[in-house]
Amino acid sequence: MSDIREFIPDESAIGVRVDKFLAAQMPEFSRSEIQRFNITRTGGAPVKCAEKIRAGDVFMVAVPDAPATDTAADNISTDFDLDILFEDDDIIVINKPRGVVMYPSAGNKTGTLVQNILAHTHLSLLGGDTRPGVVHRLDKDTSGVMVFAKSDAAFRGLVKIFSEHDLTRKYVAFVWGVPNWTGADITGNIARSSRNRQKMSMVKTGGRPAHTIVNVMDVWTRVGVAALRCTLMTGRTHQIRVHLSAHGFPVLCDPVYGRGSARLGSVRNPELLEFIKTHNGQMLHAEVLEFIHPVTGAPMHFRAPLPDDMAELRCILDDTE
């Protein structure tokens, strides 16, 4: 069985690639995933993702269900205690711990965040059997605030909010380097790397537009480290990590974009050196999430404190000054 979804583009979408349009409408899926879906126009005519949208187009997208063995509900679990920031009949807001995968996949059958939430409550199945309630994502090793849809009405509303970027998302990142500015706007298209398909990179042509606003929170000049607050104006895969690394401020302990080995030789503080060498997971935390409740219309504001490891890192850095 497949989840069939209908999309009616407005005039502003005319001339846009079909997969780009659908990725904006379904932020819970990556563009590469959407390219594998069965997409037709009304009447059943197949559509290629590279086609451009025409006036009057109506698309039917068949989102395939995952195999039964991979569904989130098959292995609901209580591997860790949920840090619930808010819950009502329509949504649940969680402070996601670092090191936890979002939902089941080929390499992660159990112990995911979604499976732990399902042990506590139900989630909207509009996200599919594998990703019920999922409207946005955080990387496995990024912690912080996340919202999930419990009702179908909330799912539809949250998808619209995220696709239109009608919300506030602020992150805290500890990075290598000390900026000579207090704030910056980073823009630049992001696409999958041609050299390593597991990575994203900034590109001069193609890709998807990305915009991050960065403000300096603290600097530790002796060790060449800074704490930055990053506000997402768009929501691309690995956006903050890619933007900061491309501009010379890679996130500490980031195994993909961090370039940490090139910096270790300059670290003289033994406690800091030990932390960086032994710690797994980028020092990136989704601190703030603000949006309008998709059902009640009430303003929602959530802030998650720094996780223990980032709080420990801050203490170590303070001791270096």
- DSSP per position, 47-116: --TTSBP-TT--EEEEEEPPPGGG-GGGG---SS---EEEE-SSEEEEEEPTT--SS-BTTB-SS-HHHH
The whole-angstrom separation of Cα 279 and Cα 283 is 9
* Number of neighbouring beta carbons within 10 Å of residue 249: 20
Would the pTM of this model clear 0.85, i.e. be above it? no
pLDDT for 261: 63
The whole-angstrom separation of Cα 238 and Cα 256 is 10
The whole-angstrom separation of Cα 103 and Cα 125 is 13
Structure token digits, residue 235 = 């929501």
Amino acid letter, 208:
R
* φ, ψ at 293 (rounded to 5°): -55, 125
pLDDT for 1: 46
pLDDT for 286: 98
Consecutive 10-residue averages of pLDDT for the chain (321 residues): 77 88 80 85 84 90 63 75 96 96 79 93 90 94 97 94 94 96 95 81 88 97 95 94 94 86 78 90 97 97 97 94 76
83: annotated active-site residue: no
Closest CA to 148 of 62, 99, 211, 82: 82
pLDDT for 299: 98
Amino acid letter, 127:
G
* φ, ψ at 169 (rounded to 5°): -130, 120
Q: Which of 19, 57, 129, 139 does the annotation list as catalytic?
A: 139
pLDDT for 154: 96
Structure token digits, residue 294 = 């998709």
The whole-angstrom separation of Cα 127 and Cα 134 is 6
pLDDT for 64: 74
